[in-house]
Structure 1
Amino acid sequence: MNLPSFGVDESAGIADHARAAEQAGLESIWVGDHLIPVKPFLDSTLVLSTAAAVTHRVKLGFGVMVLPLRPVAWAAKQVATLQHLSGDRVLLGVGSGGPVHGEAAWRAVGVPFAERGARTDAALEVLPDLIAGKPSRIGDEEITLSPGATVPPVLIGGGGGGAVMRRAAQYGDEWYPAFSAPELIAEWSARVAELAAGYGRPAPRLTVGVSVGLGELPAPLIDAQVRGLTEYGLGEEEARATLILGSPSQAAERFAELSAAGAHRIIAMPFGPDRLRQTELLGETARLVAA
């Protein structure tokens, strides 16, 4: 599930949410990555470092690191460090960023917004070797980062566009198109597998994200979540259809549909006001799915 990494959660801190997710039996916890979004947002690497310090088993996911906002050597150093601190529990989602939060962050770090795709590809060419501590060339400089670390699984984030599919096929161990409907998953999986074969690579597995509100939630809260999803390019009807609502047993049925369509991992993005309670209900859902 996604951690509440934005603003201040009055009910619990990041450490509490991370421990609760591990105790609930969830596979992994995830955090988004933004520099200047609409809402206040904590730094993803520090959030995951905090989570690593208070947990032992649960995996730690970037969902996703906006790679071109950072010099690639610094990104690799942060990931390698987190691997050492966590005992190799990192899941490295990366993406090129999008227009939803505007261009202020890009101007702030001196990166042209229009170059983000090309810079992402260039970073992915060297990122695994940098993390591993192997000699790597960046521009005219050959560098080696030390200590090297185990290269984590790389998930390429983004929707079903051609550039993202190509990037997932060329560089990804997994593809992470958030807010995916079951009917699209099978189609997209086949297409990215075909592209990967063209690069002589195995087909990336598919991780999907879903917006989840379990238990009894007021209609205005659900409507607000639908409006929020439309900011990411979904139509209102499509956004409402992607929500997973109701009881853990109802959610388990929806998760099973996504799994049957080809999803390897499902990342729940809770939006209920009591996030710790949502974690408990997600743990119950996960046990039902496993059974």
Structure 2
Amino acid sequence: MKLGVILPSGDLRTSARQAEDAGLDSVFLGDHLMTGAPSLDSTVGLAVAAAVTTRIRIGLSVFVPAMRPLAWAAKQVASLQQVSGERLILGIGSGGGEAQFEAAGVPFAERGSRTDEALRLLPDLLAGKEVRIGDAAVELAPAVAVPPIWVGNRGRRVLQRVAEHGTGWFPSLLPPKDFAAGRRRLAGLGVTGPVIAVGATGALGEGEDLPTAADIGKGIADAYGAPLDRAISLPLTGSAGAVTERLVAYRDAGAAHVVIGLAGPRWADQVRVLGQVRALLAG
């Protein structure tokens, strides 16, 4: 199992190097136009992370092409793949919230069809092939290797998109049993051997200053309307050994990659614990 981490806002250069030094496999950034909190453009932020690292994969968690003109979205992705030395993992989703689509000038009701179009056309756009977008013939250069495409979120339409277009499935905040059920549904759609990654959250290590599973779970319940008992069961907390035991359940359910958003203070210390988890899983 591979492990990644969501980069925090702030000094991306230092954070990306710390994640690579800890032995992690990937760093990710979310893609937001506006959330009420400061956030960097995802492709610019990951370009910074790529510039100061040499090995670690860089990932979009998740890119929302539906909020952009498709050719421009492809240009951003191709540029990031080029400058990173082909280390990109392209998570794609249709979320972002109605206010963000309004700010982008895109009807919220079109997000699904625009996401489907992006999944259908992006591989050829990135590969430098001529693509028809409306009445325009578009051929982008330089061409790049098409990165792994992980379709984000959950639900039947998402799984259908994985079956039709994706090389991976990237749900977030699912317990292992629900994750395994989604994997079985993919098998029923004829999808065998995709990369299946999980987005998770938690606070790793020891200390009274770190939030508890109950603290983080309440935030999940408030944000997503999830039942509180279910939400409290999701965060990964405690020592490297305790977190490793939790992740083994995901590995047994078929997860190949877990990407964790860390809550609370002492991000660098938590990343070092995550590196210990990575070593334990490898052993």
TM-score (norm: length of structure 2): 0.94
Alignment correspondent of 1:147: 142
Q: How far apart, in 2, do the equivalents of 1:144 and 1:220 lie?
A: 50
Alignment deviations for residues 139-188 of structure 1 (CA, whole Å, 9 cap, x no partner): 111110000001000000012x1111111111110000101111112211
Matched to 2:142, the amino acid is P
Partner of residue 6 from structure 2, selected from 2, 5, 30: 2
1:32-71 correspondence runs (5 A) = 32-71=30-69
Verify the 8 A CA contact 1:157 1:164 in the aligned structure 2.
Answer: yes
Residue 216 in structure 1 maps to residue 206 in structure 2: yes
Alignment correspondent of 2:253: 261
Alignment correspondent of 2:159: 165
Matched to 2:185, the amino acid is R
Q: Secondary structure at the match of 2:169?
A: strand
Alpha carbons of structure 1 residues 53 and 220: separation in structure 2 relative to 1, 3 Å: closer
Q: CA deviation at 1:217?
A: 4.4
Verify the 8 A CA contact 1:169 1:203 in the aligned structure 2.
Answer: no
Alignment correspondent of 2:72: 74
Matched to 1:128, the amino acid is P
Q: How far apart, in 1, do the equivalents of 2:226 and 2:65 lie?
A: 24
Alignment correspondent of 1:110: 105
Q: Secondary structure at the match of 1:82?
A: helix
Verify the 8 A CA contact 1:96 1:120 in the aligned structure 2.
Answer: yes
Verify the 8 A CA contact 1:208 1:265 in the aligned structure 2.
Answer: yes
Aligned length: 277
Q: Secondary structure at the match of 1:21?
A: helix
Q: CA deviation at 1:282?
A: 0.4
Q: CA deviation at 1:218?
A: 3.8
Q: CA deviation at 1:73?
A: 0.8
* Structure 1 stretches lacking a partner, 5+ long: none
1:241-280 correspondence runs (5 A) = 241-280=233-272
Verify the 8 A CA contact 2:218 2:232 in the aligned structure 1.
Answer: no
Verify the 8 A CA contact 1:132 1:151 in the aligned structure 2.
Answer: yes
Q: CA RMSD in A?
A: 1.5
Alignment deviations for residues 2-34 of structure 1 (CA, whole Å, 9 cap, x no partner): 1013xxx4xxx1000000000001000011111
Percent of pairs with identical residues: 43
Alignment correspondent of 1:180: 174
Q: How far apart, in 2, do the equivalents of 1:265 and 1:218 lie?
A: 29
Greater mean deviation of Cα atoms: 105-114 or 84-93 = 105-114
Q: CA deviation at 1:220?
A: 8.2
Alignment deviations for residues 270-291 of structure 1 (CA, whole Å, 9 cap, x no partner): 1131111111110011101111
Q: Secondary structure at the match of 1:221?
A: coil
Q: How far apart, in 2, do the equivalents of 1:217 and 1:67 lie?
A: 40
Alignment deviations for residues 191-249 of structure 1 (CA, whole Å, 9 cap, x no partner): 01222x2xxx6453210011121122448833442232121342211111011111001
Alignment deviations for residues 23-56 of structure 1 (CA, whole Å, 9 cap, x no partner): 0010000111111113221111011000000000
Alignment correspondent of 1:130: 125
Q: How far apart, in 1, do the equivalents of 2:243 and 2:279 lie?
A: 11
Alignment correspondent of 1:236: 228
Q: How far apart, in 1, do the equivalents of 2:194 and 2:135 lie?
A: 32
Alignment correspondent of 1:21: 19
Alignment correspondent of 2:92: 94
Matched to 2:220, the amino acid is L
Q: CA deviation at 1:105?
A: 1.4
Q: Secondary structure at the match of 2:118?
A: helix
Choose between structure 1 and 2 for higher RCO, CA contacts under 8 A separated by at least 6 residues: 2
Q: Secondary structure at the match of 1:185?
A: helix
Verify the 8 A CA contact 1:3 1:18 in the aligned structure 2.
Answer: yes
- Large movers: runs of 4+ above 4 Å: none
Alpha carbons of structure 1 residues 236 and 98: separation in structure 2 relative to 1, 3 Å: farther
Q: How far apart, in 2, do the equivalents of 1:107 and 1:182 lie?
A: 35
